[in-house]
Amino acid sequence: MKISVLLFASAREAVGAPSVEVALPASATVSDVLREPRLAGLAGLAPSLRFALNEEFARPDAPLREGDVVALLPPVSGG
Amino acid sequence: MKISVLLFASAREAVGAPSVEVALPASATVSDVLREPRLAGLAGLAPSLRFALNEEFARPDAPLREGDVVALLPPVSGG
Amino acid sequence: MEILLTREPLSLDAACRAVRAPGRGGVVLFLGEVRPEEKGKAVSSIEYEAYESMARKELERLAAGAERAHGAAVAVHHRLGPVPAGETSVIVAAASAHRAEAFAACREVIDRLKESAPIWKASFAEAR
Amino acid sequence: MEILLTREPLSLDAACRAVRAPGRGGVVLFLGEVRPEEKGKAVSSIEYEAYESMARKELERLAAGAERAHGAAVAVHHRLGPVPAGETSVIVAAASAHRAEAFAACREVIDRLKESAPIWKASFAEAR
């Protein structure tokens, strides 16, 4: 299935793009997006990343569906 | 000695004046001002009154000196 | 520290400007507003009376205490005389490097003001 | 409740107006300002980036939670894009009948915003 991956702040800078389209098997979960070669640059950041699925925080093992949007969120610093 | 007594809010309304000059013996303390006949109307209020001596909160038994200014302060409601 | 006792309408920006400074990243402001109803009775305005000279001293004492305790800058603006319902009767502003201290200082000053500042209110149901 | 994400300078009065109402006697405002120095380095401005659609949802969720928990009205205004040192990056306003609830709601929202709103800052020592 095709999944859109949005990248912000340090994740965007590490990958060098604001978003990436990823093809994953039907049984894939949110954290499986990190298997995408173009996201290899995130290895160092991975432990501190949080995931969002369709604009809601999501657990790494949350199941994905065709067309879902996953966002990789480094530690936030708003306010 | 001559002591000025300032009256505020409900105390002023009970006495009908914003201030009263009181003559007291040399050994008088702050609460002795209440002996003044013109302040008799404060009897009901007395238990809830706080005293100020020369613009500082004072204990009822604080000693007085000629020309001191005592203020009778009902419960406050600022803010 | 800035203490203002005035019969003029209060200004949020003025209170804020009184405490802001480059290093102070957190500013907290409390506004007390005259409610149009109190204990079931309609209120058109509230008259604030103060033992002004002592009130100024008390507010300076409270503000200085909070500034020392929390490392914040504090301003207290209190309106005296008639204050129409819906308008602001008091503003307490506090600023410091981080928000925790600004919240603590602001809260401490308004709480203590309400306990010890020699200021009284008389509410009026209809215009006097 | 009012959530505003904007690239325009924030307005204290606008945030205050968003929560004021006749019965709400206590209003608390928190302002976060860009400090001209951070970790010893001079800062000329801070760039705020947001996952805007999710940030709006998160802020609505936080504000609604605080409104329910404290019986307050809440507004959150956050500035995005470049914010010069000394200017305001966020305002959280909370209003309720009494000050305790307004302080609690305001503090809760800014604390949680800093934990979970998908907003990031990149500070710039010199003008870009």
pLDDT in tens, D74-92: 999 999 999 999 999 999 9
Q: What is the pTM of this model?
A: 0.94
Delimit the domains of chain B by residue range: 2-73
Does position D112 have pLDDT exceeding 90, yes or no? yes
* Closest CB to C49 among B9, B55, B57: B9
Q: How far is D118 from chain A (nearest CA, A)?
A: 6
Q: Mean pLDDT, chain A, as a whole number? A: 97
Does position D127 have pLDDT exceeding 60, yes or no? no
Query: Closest Cα partner for A54 from A8, A3, A2?
Result: A3
pLDDT of residue C39: 82
Which H or E run includes B9?
Answer: helix B9-15
Q: Mean pLDDT, chain C, as a whole number? A: 95
Please list the alpha-helical segments (H only) found in D78-127. Answer: 99-116
Query: Closest Cα partner for D121 from B25, A78, A4, B22?
Result: A78
Architecture per CATH, A2-73: Roll (3.10)
For chain D, what is the radius of gyration of the CA atoms?
15
The separation between CA C32 and the C-alpha centre of its own chain, rounded to angstroms, equals 7
**pLDDT category, C128, cuts 50, 70, 90?**
very low
Does position A18 have pLDDT exceeding 70, yes or no? yes
pLDDT of residue C126: 56
The tokens for D26 are 């206590």
**Does D14 contact C at CB distance below 8 Å?**
no
Query: Closest Cα partner for B48 from B3, B11, B5?
Result: B11
pLDDT digits (tens, 9 = 90+) for C76-107: 999 999 999 999 999 999 999 999 999 999 99
* Closest CB to A55 among D53, D115, D120: D53
Does position D46 have pLDDT exceeding 50, yes or no? yes
- C51, C58, C106: best to mutate for the B interface, most B CBs within 10 A: C51
Query: Closest Cα partner for B1 from B20, B27, B19?
Result: B27
Residues C60, C1: contact at Cβ < 8 Å? yes
Does position D126 have pLDDT exceeding 80, yes or no? no
Does position D109 have pLDDT exceeding 80, yes or no? yes
Comparing A4-8, C42-46, D5-9, the range with the smallest average pLDDT is C42-46
N-term to C-term CA, chain B: 37
- Say whether A55 and D32 touch across the interface (CB within 8 A): no
Cα–Cα distance list, D60 to B17, B68, C49, D30, D56 (Å): 55, 59, 42, 17, 6
pLDDT of residue C127: 45
Does position D125 have pLDDT exceeding 80, yes or no? no
Rounded distance between C-alpha atoms, residue D18 and residue D53, angstroms: 21
Surface of D (91-120) touching A: CB under 8 A: 110, 113-120
Rounded distance between C-alpha atoms, residue D40 and residue D56, angstroms: 32
Write the CB contacts of D98 (distance below 8 Å, at least 6 apart in sequence): D25, D26
Query: Closest Cα partner for D91 from D25, D45, D28, D43?
Result: D28
Mean pLDDT of D46-56: 97
* Closest CB to D54 among A9, A71, A77: A71
Nearest Cα residue in chain A from D116: A76
ipTM for the complex shown: 0.94
pLDDT of residue C38: 83
- Say whether C110 and D97 touch across the interface (CB within 8 A): no
Q: How far is C94 from chain D (nearest CA, A)?
A: 10
Flag whether B touches A (3+ CB pairs, 8 A cutoff).
no
Residues A30, A62: contact at Cβ < 8 Å? yes
| % of chain C with per-residue pLDDT over 70 | 96
Q: What SS3 string covers chain C?
A: CEEEEECCCCCHHHHHHHHCCCCCCEEEEEEEECCCEECCEECCEEEEEECHHHHHHHHHHHHHHHHHHHCCEEEEEEECEEEECCCEEEEEEEEECCHHHHHHHHHHHHHHHHHHCCEEEEEECCCC
Does position D123 have pLDDT exceeding 80, yes or no? no
Instruction: Calculate ∠ Cα A39-A40-A45, nearest 5°.
Output: 85
Query: Closest Cα partner for D87 from C73, C77, C16?
Result: C16
Q: Specify burial of residue C120 (Cβ count, 10 A radius: 0-12, 13-18, 19+).
A: buried
Rounded distance between C-alpha atoms, residue D67 and residue D46, angstroms: 30
pLDDT of residue C75: 98
pLDDT digits (tens, 9 = 90+) for C4-63: 999 999 999 999 999 999 999 999 999 999 999 888 889 999 999 999 999 999 999 999
| % of chain C with per-residue pLDDT over 90 | 88
The tokens for D52 are 């805007």
Please list the alpha-helical segments (H only) found in chain A. Answer: 9-15
Beta bridge partners of A73: A50
* One-letter identity of residue A14: A
Query: Which parts of chain B have pLDDT scores under 70?
Result: none
**Does D49 contact A at CB distance below 8 Å?**
yes
Please report the number of interchain residue pairs, chain B to chain C, with beta-carbon separation below 8 angstroms: 57
pLDDT of residue C12: 97
